[in-house]
């Protein structure tokens, strides 16, 4: 039976360390770390995420700036706000909550954010830095997944690692982070010929496709570490991941639950990135 990887506990540990480092940084520099979060429209899930980010900021000692814009906000108006925040010395991190309304091009907005304040690490400059292994920030969810893997005490080095999903936000950067730690990485997706066989070879399996219970127990290698990034709502209202938890628990050595696994890590890593941004800007005298 697999051991649970408790994301809430690991995230609490990350936030506690950020809080301690933030107090030290503020005492030494007189700078209060500031995170600006932009939300456009009234997507209920986005509102929950933004509220949780605000709570986390309060917990670690950050100043939280929220910009809640109506759904009819134009792209030009949003870009103008981003430029204003880019030039605001009290703001060290800028996050634009996705998804944006259909009339706004997400790529254009992300590209407008100053890479030094891009604490989501979505800007092409930061993506490129992750590719070559010389980065300031890591995307929050993949970085959180790596923290969860580390918490097991199992080394990635030399392991067969399979990532199911190739999104820019999770799948691709996840593969790069595993590669940076000398894992042998396979990326699977909707065109993969034999997903079951690819998964069965994995010592470390990361599922991030948004398909409820896609990964069954017979797709998992005995003793594998299973990280479930999926967050899906079933018809009965219950949440589940991309992995069939009950079946997978019989085969894996470690597994993340849904909820309570990867989810809490994303915001914890956002706090870590924002502090890093503030430290970098202070070091440059900005």
Asked whether residue 102 falls in the same domain as residue 196, the answer is: no
3-state secondary structure of 230: coil
Residue 120 is among the residues annotated as catalytic for this protein: yes
The one catalytic residue among 17, 19, 24, 53: 53
Asked whether residue 88 falls in the same domain as residue 153, the answer is: no
pLDDT tens profile 229-286: 999 988 998 999 999 999 999 999 999 999 999 999 999 999 999 999 999 999 988 5
Whether residue 278 lies inside any domain: the answer is no
The one catalytic residue among 120, 203, 228, 242: 120
Predicted pLDDT of residue 286 = 57
Asked whether residue 201 falls in the same domain as residue 95, the answer is: no
Residue 281 near residue 116, CB atoms below 8 Å: yes
For 86-98, what is the mean pLDDT?
97
Whether residue 279 lies inside any domain: the answer is no
Residue 3 is among the residues annotated as catalytic for this protein: no
- CA distances to 20, 89, 169, 188 from 179, rounded to whole Å, are 31, 35, 16, 15
Helices (H), 152-262: 171-180, 195-200, 245-249
Whether residue 176 lies inside any domain: the answer is yes
Asked whether residue 91 falls in the same domain as residue 163, the answer is: no
If one counts the domains in the chain, the total is 2
Whether residue 18 lies inside any domain: the answer is no
32 Cβ neighbours under 8 A, 6+ residues apart: 26, 61, 62, 63, 90
Whether residue 233 lies inside any domain: the answer is yes
- CA distances to 42, 167, 225, 237, 238 from 280, rounded to whole Å, are 33, 28, 34, 43, 42
Q: Look at the block and give the residue holding tokens 């870009």.
A: 79
Residue 118 is among the residues annotated as catalytic for this protein: no
Domain boundary among 114, 149, 173: 114
CA-CA-CA-CA torsion sign (31, 112, 48, 228): negative
Whether residue 91 lies inside any domain: the answer is yes
For 153-167, what is the mean pLDDT?
98
For 75-85, what is the mean pLDDT?
98
Q: Which domain, by its residues, includes 217?
A: 140-263
């Amino acid at each position: 039976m697999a051991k649970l990887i408790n994301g809430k506990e690991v995230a609490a540990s990350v936030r506690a360390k950020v809080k301690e480092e933030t107090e030290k940084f503020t005492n030494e520099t007189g700078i209060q770390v500031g995170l600006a979060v932009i939300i456009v429209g009234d997507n209920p899930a986005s509102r929950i995420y933004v509220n949780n980010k605000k709570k986390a900021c309060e917990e670690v000692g950050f100043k939280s700036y929220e910009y809640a814009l109506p759904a009819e906000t134009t792209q030009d108006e949003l870009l103008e706000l981003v430029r204003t925040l880019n030039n605001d010395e009290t703001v060290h991190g800028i996050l634009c909550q996705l998804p944006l309304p259909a009339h706004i091009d997400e790529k254009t907005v992300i590209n407008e954010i100053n890479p030094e304040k891009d604490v989501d690490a979505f800007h092409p400059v930061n993506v490129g830095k992750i590719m070559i292994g010389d980065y300031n920030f890591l995307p929050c969810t993949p970085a959180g997944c790596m923290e969860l893997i580390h918490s097991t005490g199992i080394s990635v080095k030399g392991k067969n690692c399979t990532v199911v999903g190739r999104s820019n936000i999770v799948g691709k950067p996840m593969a790069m982070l595993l590669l940076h730690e000398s894992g042998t990485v396979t990326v699977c997706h909707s065109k993969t010929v034999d997903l079951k066989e690819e998964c069965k070879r994995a010592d470390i399996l990361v599922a991030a496709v948004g398909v409820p219970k896609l990964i069954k127990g017979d797709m998992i290698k005995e003793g594998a570490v299973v990280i479930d990034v999926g967050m899906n709502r079933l018809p009965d209202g219950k949440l589940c991941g991309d992995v069939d938890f009950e079946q997978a628990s019989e085969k894996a050595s470690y597994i993340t639950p849904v909820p309570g696994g990867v989810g809490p890590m994303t915001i914890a890593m956002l706090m870590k990135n924002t502090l890093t941004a503030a430290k970098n800007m202070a070091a440059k005298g900005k």
